[in-house]
Structure 1
Amino acid sequence: MKKILLILFSFLASQSFAQLPNQAPGSTPTEKPILHGKDWVAITGKPLAATAGSHIFQQGGNAVDAACAMLAATATMWDVLSWGGETQALIYHPEEKRVIAINALGYAPTGATVDFYKSEGMEYPPAYGPLAATTPGTPGGLMTMLAEYGTMSLAEVLAPAMDLAKGYPIEAQTADNIERGKERIKQWPYSKDLFLTHLGKDREAPYPGEIFVQEDLYKTLLKLVETEREALAAGQSREEAIYAANDRFYRGDIAKEIVRGAREQGGLFTEDDLANWTVKIEEPLMVNYRGIDVYKLQEWTQGPALLQALNILENFDLKSMGYNSSRYIHTVYQAMSMAFADRDFYYSDPAFDPVSPMKGLLSKEYAKARAAEINPDLNDPNIKAGDPYPFQNGENPFLEILNAQDETLAIKISETPLSGPEDPYLEEFLSGTTSIQAADKDGWVVSVTPSGGWIPAVIAGNTGVGMSQRMQSFVLDENLNPYNLVEPGKRPRVTLTPSLALKDGMPFLSFAVQGGDSQDQNLLQMFLNVVEFGMNVQEAVEAANFNSLQLQSSFGDHAIKPGNLILREDTSPWVRNELAKMGYTMDFWNRTSGPINGIWFDWENGTLWGGSSNYGDDYGIAW
């Protein structure tokens, strides 16, 4: 009888977010309400930045204009990114009825080679400091999106960020991050001058609510606006004027000061590095999952891992397993482990040889073969990358390395038990960013995952621009990933991964999340929450996810924890016991969902449903 009751309890728990037959959509209680909008929705990682997006919408801007304003605001507010970081976006173009990918990731500077970093005694490029920096990408990404797909001027879109740069009441999250990182910050003179407003006191960072002023950044943004104004006065078009400002950032006096400040502090940037870097407007990658087209950026991100996992999971009846049952968790975990093993071995910048075998990796046949390898009863702690080349009629150039993974793979296995959400391993594994979601009544949809230049950041001279830390996502050992070896001009394989899904050719779901290597894990489950279990968008962003640590961290020492699983603390005893028998080591948190933000499109009623995370400072506004 006791076992029967446990099974019943587990079943009810697994169905807790499923839509009941007599329940109206959106009526399940959530910690935050659904954002219902008729005209627009703006969501991002900071309340003030969401307000910036709403201001742009109220002034008549489209979703691209609003997304750019939110990007500028979050970068100015150090929401785990800054102006020297990188920007990745997917845009749905309603007139052309297609999804467009924006690649505004910086690349490795001159002199950034495997031999250089090894000569410095490093196993990977560093996590912090001037040698961790790729070239700035966010300014170019913002200005390219605005010029190509927006409607407003750069001055209008940057106005909220410039107001913030003149001084805003800093939030506790950012202020406390500065205090925690102050010993590193003291190593870099321009960072120390900016961040440590109470130098020499017990608390050297700003206090929550203190007005935080960034004079140098304000002057940099003002230079961009002045350049645009002068170009317009000279008769140039809106687009030409925005690109004139872009040229000043990457080829003018701003670039010269970024390079001077970076090199003064030990960086590798040259003026040519900035001048030669450009934003790429690309074709996204896509797979169809049960009639829904899911789009991700190319393999310079981890985004295709979500597509690979969907292809594998399409071979299983997930709905019948029940939401977060032991069988469901195990199956999704195994699929993710396979996809991430491929990510860790194959993904890289497709502009460089060797080119990742994405046709094979995303083929349904390859996914079916991988699905057949899943043991339904036990976790496989030794999952390695597969061989997709036969599925694209090719031969694997690194078959010897692939077959010798057990002997040669230099992955660090971490067997140290976690000490909770503040564990140093997780601090790197879950290294945050922010996300931006924007949509409007005319059909424009924007999903962005910007990042880089988070606190503690190196400020590049007198520009106020914080430099990226993205070099650490390269590898120096071809046995780990022969495709992702560092070299000048190359983009590292990053964790950043916005998402868009279309159904019947129309936007269905736009979603993104912060959180390093957990991003596509959380986004995969959020998508399945909606598609398989009928959750509305707010339920889906709050729902209990699980996180696998059975993948190489993209940060720090890149360690892996096979069989480690993070679950929400309300996971039932029956599910815990079953997972333990399958070989999992479990930790339990009170929240495991993200923070995810998303927009679902109600075409029947012509409205937009926004879901804003209940995990952190994420905030949304709709009208």
Structure 2
Amino acid sequence: MKKIYLIALIFTALNVKGQGLPGLGAGTTPNNKPILHGKNWVAITGKPLGATAGASIFQQGGNAVDAACAMIAATSTMWDVLSWGGETQALIYHPIEKKVIAINALGYAPSGATVDFYKSQGMDYPPQFGPLAATTPGTPGGIMTMLAEYGTMSLEQILKPSMELAKGYPIEAQTANAMEAQKARIKGWPYSKKIFLPHLGEEREAPSPGEIFVQEDLYQTLSKLVEAEKEALAAGKSRKEAIYAAYDRFYKGDIAKEIVRGTREQGGLFTEEDLANWTVKIEEPLHVNYKGIDVYKLQEWTQGPALLQSLNILENFDLKSMGYNSANYIHTVYQAMNLAFADRDFYYGDPAFVDSPMEGLLSKEYAKERAKLIGDVNDPTITAGDPYPFQGETNPYLDILNKNKASIAALDPSQFNSTLDEQFIADFQSGTTSVETADAEGWVVSVTPSGGWVPAVVAGNTGVGLSQRMQSFVLDENLNPYNLPEPGKRPRVTLTPSLAMKDGKPMLAFAVQGGDSQDQNLLQLFLNIVEFDMDVQEATEAANFNSYQMQSSFGDHEVRPGAMVLRKDTPDWINKELSRKGYKLELWNKTSGPLNAIWFDWKHGSFWGGSSDYGDDYGIAW
């Protein structure tokens, strides 16, 4: 018995995968869930029924884009922390063109949504909930654009699973209990109340777990989309044209009219022109190279570039020699994230409206300068840097930047709030879901659809729950002069799918839910694989740490300098060393949202799927 205990101690100290102990990975116990091995395809998402929808599309001969569209539709129907009125953003690897494509299907601010309007309502930030929190619906357009441009199947085929779910499915405890917990707010919105609270007047007014949950209005809306597609096909239109006919019915036809009517009835700002003028954008993603690996993220209307900035900063350190989740490693990565997120908080915004300094922010030279700021202890006064000189320009907001630095520097350290109260955590880690698919033809899709989570305002008799993404804007230019609301502008969001390429081939597709913690968790998953040789399932289950030293993108956009969450099994000596470095620690059983990833085994021509043991996320491979 003593020998076994000694071996365990030696393994813990080594923190390196292998070392003659098969089946164990760096810093982890044996996996709680198996690796998903597939030769033909793999589908991973936030709910088992959502993964089953993707599997059914693959079994019918669809590609990874077809399957991803069906999975987004299914999870939206299941209110898996999103709804049909939310937003969809994706990275797609196109195997024929051999390039990564970015999909921007984030809704924008409606007419009248300005800084002055929200301030006139007595608000410091746009609200978290209700009709004034809603951007225009993006997910329907995202699904239909992805399907039309890169899929192979009809809209009817990929909507079939979600239409069956809308007719009635056994609801999960997570969603049903969220409806019950939020029923006081839900009762303020008549169309939401009709759907979410089928047992009004009873002790439990929401559905019970396992109860068949029916959404007749949503079924009728989806049926109208299929009807529009069929009519276009009957008129001789192509598959692609027919899908876009359904798109037009949603954004310009009778569905749009009812969305606008129902939203305005409840106090929202939508106009028919807002929906008609909104379009999905097919964009070039941003990327950096980390030790020979090209990592791709969406543009600065998301927080994704913060992961790229973190990698650039961390290239200046020998992470592997520090050891997985050693005190020095955790401190270094935490500080790199703080530096990158400070830039996110000040500079990121919708590139259609503002010119964020992305060339400078993603330059290796700027990263080297930022890396020099990492000392031996936590710095709670870190603020945004000045990347403009690194792209040969002068910072137009240097006065605001310097004022912010002076204000923070003048604070007494005792004034920093590092307490992680329940509401702050709920806001900071506000959920979404993720969808990861890949097929033998080479198509790869990584998506983090979101918005319209419970409690959502439902837009009239459409069954479409509206996004709450307006809350990610700020109303004070001192916080971020690039992210102030105006009609037609997209807020800077947390949603952040990821793709990594090596030697011109897909290496890793990965995403996670969890608000502002997403790119923190994804950065660590990537480093787990690249620096510490974990397999994809080990990497999804491995212990994460989380920083809260950045503005929350939700609620009151608060900051908690020095606050850190570690997993409960972190050794005491590491906790003590981190405390010495100035961190205020909290220990949790699980320290990330549900991480989902696909690793590509080019040696054997197969897929390895990983889905963490947090929550209901699930995958199927074949």
Shorter-chain TM-score: what band?
over 0.9
- Matches of 2:24 and 2:223 in 1, distance apart? 47
- Matches of 2:8 and 2:404 in 1, distance apart? 42
Deviation at 1:429, TM superposition (A): 0.3
Task: Report the equivalent of 1:77.
Answer: 78
Task: Report the equivalent of 2:396.
Answer: 397
- Matches of 1:17 and 1:72 in 2, distance apart? 41
- Matches of 2:17 and 2:125 in 1, distance apart? 44
Runs of 4 or more, structure 1, over 6 Å off, are: 8-11, 24-28
| CA 1:120–1:9: 2 relative to 1, 3 Å | farther
Deviation at 1:586, TM superposition (A): 0.3
Give deviations 1:49-87, integer Å, cap 9, x for gaps. 100000000000000000000000000000000000000
Task: Report the equivalent of 2:4.
Answer: none
Task: Report the equivalent of 1:373.
Answer: 373
Task: Report the equivalent of 2:306.
Answer: 305
**2:466 aligns to what SS in structure 1?**
coil
- Matches of 1:117 and 1:14 in 2, distance apart? 54
| CA 1:592–1:17: 2 relative to 1, 3 Å | farther
Deviation at 1:592, TM superposition (A): 1.1
Runs of 5+ unmatched residues, structure 2: 1-6
- Matches of 1:10 and 1:405 in 2, distance apart? 47
- Matches of 1:17 and 1:203 in 2, distance apart? 50
Task: Report the equivalent of 2:451.
Answer: 452
Task: Report the equivalent of 1:491.
Answer: 490
- Matches of 2:521 and 2:583 in 1, distance apart? 19
- Matches of 1:105 and 1:587 in 2, distance apart? 34
| CA 1:21–1:593: 2 relative to 1, 3 Å | farther
Check conservation: 2:417, 2:560, Cα contact below 8 A.
yes
Task: Report the equivalent of 1:206.
Answer: 207
- Matches of 1:215 and 1:15 in 2, distance apart? 57
- Matches of 1:90 and 1:54 in 2, distance apart? 20
Give deviations 1:458-507, integer Å, cap 9, x for gaps. 00000000000000000110000011011000000000000000000000
Deviation at 1:615, TM superposition (A): 0.2
Task: Report the equivalent of 1:285.
Answer: 286
Runs of 5+ unmatched residues, structure 1: 1-7
1:478 matched to 2:480: no
- Give the AA of the match of 1:189: P
User: Cα RMSD between the aligned structures?
Assistant: 1.8
Corresponding residue to 1:415 among 417, 434, 452? 417
Deviation at 1:575, TM superposition (A): 0.2
Check conservation: 2:457, 2:465, Cα contact below 8 A.
yes
**2:208 aligns to what SS in structure 1?**
coil
| CA 1:387–1:596: 2 relative to 1, 3 Å | same
Deviation at 1:613, TM superposition (A): 1.7
Check conservation: 1:301, 1:495, Cα contact below 8 A.
yes
- Matches of 2:86 and 2:564 in 1, distance apart? 30
Check conservation: 1:13, 1:572, Cα contact below 8 A.
no
| TM-score normalised according to structure 2 size | 0.96
- Give the AA of the match of 1:622: A
- Matches of 2:318 and 2:269 in 1, distance apart? 51
Give deviations 1:182-239, integer Å, cap 9, x for gaps. 1110000000111001111111110000000000000000000011011011110000
**1:255 aligns to what SS in structure 2?**
helix
**1:324 aligns to what SS in structure 2?**
coil
When structure 1 is superposed on structure 2, of 21-30 and 307-316 the one drifting more is 21-30
Deviation at 1:591, TM superposition (A): 1.0
Task: Report the equivalent of 2:464.
Answer: 465
Percent identity of paired positions between Structure 1 and Structure 2: 75
Task: Report the equivalent of 1:250.
Answer: 251
Task: Report the equivalent of 2:3.
Answer: none
- Give the AA of the match of 2:214: V
- Matches of 1:26 and 1:76 in 2, distance apart? 37
1:611 matched to 2:610: yes
Check conservation: 1:10, 1:574, Cα contact below 8 A.
no
Check conservation: 1:401, 1:408, Cα contact below 8 A.
no
| CA 1:12–1:549: 2 relative to 1, 3 Å | farther
- Give the AA of the match of 1:400: D
Deviation at 1:424, TM superposition (A): 1.2
| CA 1:582–1:409: 2 relative to 1, 3 Å | closer
- Give the AA of the match of 1:491: R
**1:565 aligns to what SS in structure 2?**
strand
- Matches of 1:229 and 1:584 in 2, distance apart? 60
- Matches of 1:81 and 1:578 in 2, distance apart? 40
Task: Report the equivalent of 2:142.
Answer: 141
- Matches of 1:476 and 1:9 in 2, distance apart? 53
- Matches of 2:25 and 2:280 in 1, distance apart? 39
- Matches of 1:95 and 1:253 in 2, distance apart? 37
Task: Report the equivalent of 1:359.
Answer: 359
Task: Report the equivalent of 1:110.
Answer: 111
Matches within 5 A, 1:95-244: 95-244=96-245
Task: Report the equivalent of 1:598.
Answer: 597
Aligned residue pairs, count: 611
Check conservation: 1:112, 1:487, Cα contact below 8 A.
yes
Check conservation: 2:471, 2:553, Cα contact below 8 A.
yes
Check conservation: 1:541, 1:594, Cα contact below 8 A.
no
1:315 matched to 2:316: yes
**1:608 aligns to what SS in structure 2?**
strand
- Matches of 1:287 and 1:200 in 2, distance apart? 56
- Matches of 2:389 and 2:481 in 1, distance apart? 19
- Matches of 2:16 and 2:588 in 1, distance apart? 18
Check conservation: 1:9, 1:572, Cα contact below 8 A.
no
| CA 1:15–1:168: 2 relative to 1, 3 Å | farther
- Matches of 1:345 and 1:67 in 2, distance apart? 33
| CA 1:26–1:69: 2 relative to 1, 3 Å | farther
1:43 matched to 2:44: yes
Deviation at 1:11, TM superposition (A): 8.2
- Matches of 2:14 and 2:209 in 1, distance apart? 41
- Matches of 1:593 and 1:275 in 2, distance apart? 38
**1:404 aligns to what SS in structure 2?**
helix
- Matches of 1:408 and 1:320 in 2, distance apart? 37
**2:510 aligns to what SS in structure 1?**
strand
**2:258 aligns to what SS in structure 1?**
helix
Give deviations 1:505-526, integer Å, cap 9, x for gaps. 0000000000000000000000
Give deviations 1:345-371, integer Å, cap 9, x for gaps. 000000013x10000000000000100
**2:525 aligns to what SS in structure 1?**
helix
When structure 1 is superposed on structure 2, of 593-602 and 517-526 the one drifting more is 593-602
- Matches of 2:441 and 2:24 in 1, distance apart? 24
Task: Report the equivalent of 2:329.
Answer: 328
